[in-house]
Structure 1
């Protein structure tokens, strides 16, 4: 029973502890049109702890969020990818105007760096082999890691801090650890990359396995008990009814006094060590064989032989014969 309590405690901890902990700080998800705005972003009318510093958006038209960049203006946010935050490598080239073909897919024209007689272009580093002719007529400025952009779509902005990649992969949401400071934590997910639903499923699977094992163990124990009970019943039927002998007063008889013990006959064994009963060749008290010239004492009523020194000590404590447990009727208890 204790095993089941531990199992359910662990499962419920996985399910409910992340939910309870997330109430201490705010996640504050909100929509601007069809765009979900959540940590590290926040709308300007939300509490400061809903988002990371400088990740502020506005929702003026209630359809698309607006990002305001200092000295640049306002930009419409078409999409927010909370999972992947990447940079691409571009090669920047300075070319004369006559050296640039009109149609160059994957080539980006940088107007702010260009002049009247020259143009600055950027080519993805992994596509440079396709435009090898430009490297002969243009001057290589350098290779730079920049956010990828598309002139027909806009520029893609990325961020490195806060780093929520591992949390997002694990199915959780980034949020502040406390009401102060900029330390973040993961809520509702597992940083190891295992979704919470998978953890819960594994826990229930282990629980079902343990239940099956316990039921099997209990079944085997019950079967073993039944076999043992049948075995005992079978033995009782074979042995028949037990005979119980009432305890008599002779069972508690006291030892004999010295004169009574000395009155018991003494036998001195010869070289042949013969006794009336051939089987009487061992003392039942010390379990040693009788030797020639050994002194034996006999209990008269039952004719059992013992070493004199052994039976003398016995009779001082108990008047009954060590073999048949009969007490001589003529014995005198010790005072």
Structure 2
């Protein structure tokens, strides 16, 4: 039974973390139009503990979510990606490039620009621009009837050198990841909710005071506790059944082997030690040497000299009545005959104590 207890211990050690209690879902979720606002963000009319400091948003006309940056003004929130901890914001007039020229200052905010890249902006007459140029962005909100404003990565300036001769250079600006129509993307520097969101949980404050956060929900709380206990019990029973099947097949193979060998296997008498060569310890034993080790036919009581010798250390199955056991003479350790015979063919050392006994031959 000790082996079964070990299996139970392993199973429940693996599953027990799933049984840990967890609190319920998010705190203070609210919608502004079609956008879900939740921790670390909060609307300005919600309690302070609904969101992390400096993550205040405003819901304008119940449809538009507004983020105000201290040194850059108001922006429309296009999307909040809680999983990847980023936010897409746009100019209220949907002309984000104009905000680049005014200077984007993120000082004092919990946001940072992502994928910063230098862009060159040109003002060209409509006839001076080829219809299609790779990686060139047409800025319609800055263009007019007779001219167009375009932008392209500064590292491709040599490819578009001809444009700089026919177009007026407006300036070179370092900008984050952006789309002329969708706005720009900023990354959340704090709080660290990434792994919580990846696990399907929700960030929230750990207590009513302080800024420490914790993760609520996720995979662990998504399964009812009764179901977790059921899964644990089922896995444990399955492993026990597999273990018993292995032992049953081992005993069956042992019995077949014993029946086949019955005509030439007898209870062995005392063993007489004979000298061994120095090289014998480094290899297995031959058939006659193995057969010289004593055989014991286990009775119904399954009693052995040492109570702890109730399990074969090779196959890990408990001994059963009428099974044949073989003993290593020097150390008196017992094993299933079929198990230890195969072992000794490859290694003369005892599997338990690792001592190498002297080869034995039957007494004359």
Residues 19 and 110 of structure 1: CA distance in aligned 2, closer, same or farther (over 3 Å): farther
Greater displacement, 222-231 / 260-269: 260-269
State the 1:55 CA deviation. Answer: 1.1
Greater displacement, 100-109 / 46-55: 100-109
State the 1:38 CA deviation. Answer: 1.8
In the alignment, does 2:62 pair up with 1:33? no
State the 1:30 CA deviation. Answer: 2.5
Contact conserved, 1:166 with 1:192, CA < 8 A, in 2?
A: no
**Matches of 2:307 and 2:232, distance apart in 1:** 77
State the 1:182 CA deviation. Answer: 3.1
Residues 16 and 36 of structure 1: CA distance in aligned 2, closer, same or farther (over 3 Å): farther
**Cα displacement string for residues 93-152 of structure 1 (whole angstroms, at most 9, x for unaligned residues):** 799999988987855699999999999975335765653434678899998653333333
Contact conserved, 2:247 with 2:317, CA < 8 A, in 1?
A: no
Contact conserved, 1:96 with 1:138, CA < 8 A, in 2?
A: yes
Structure 2: 5+ residue runs without aligned partners?
A: 86-114
State the 1:207 CA deviation. Answer: 5.4
Q: Which has the higher strand share?
A: 2
**Matches of 1:129 and 1:138, distance apart in 2:** 14
In the alignment, does 2:66 pair up with 1:58? no
Contact conserved, 1:93 with 1:141, CA < 8 A, in 2?
A: yes
| Larger RCO of the pair (alpha carbons < 8 Å, separation 6+) | 2
Q: How does 1:214-293 map to 2 (within 5 A)?
A: 214-217=243-246, 219-220=248-249
Q: Which has the higher helix share?
A: 1
Other structure's SS at 1:95 match = strand
Greater displacement, 225-234 / 27-36: 225-234
The alignment yields a C-alpha RMSD, in angstroms, of 22.1
**Cα displacement string for residues 154-207 of structure 1 (whole angstroms, at most 9, x for unaligned residues):** 344443233444443443333334443334444445999999999999989975
State the 1:255 CA deviation. Answer: 52
**Matches of 1:118 and 1:157, distance apart in 2:** 31
Contact conserved, 1:40 with 1:50, CA < 8 A, in 2?
A: yes
Residues 29 and 127 of structure 1: CA distance in aligned 2, closer, same or farther (over 3 Å): farther
**Matches of 2:242 and 2:299, distance apart in 1:** 73
Residues 115 and 159 of structure 1: CA distance in aligned 2, closer, same or farther (over 3 Å): farther
Greater displacement, 122-131 / 58-67: 122-131
**Matches of 1:70 and 1:40, distance apart in 2:** 18
**Cα displacement string for residues 206-235 of structure 1 (whole angstroms, at most 9, x for unaligned residues):** 757624423414645886999999999999
Greater displacement, 320-329 / 187-196: 320-329
Structure 1: 5+ residue runs without aligned partners?
A: none
**Matches of 1:108 and 1:253, distance apart in 2:** 76
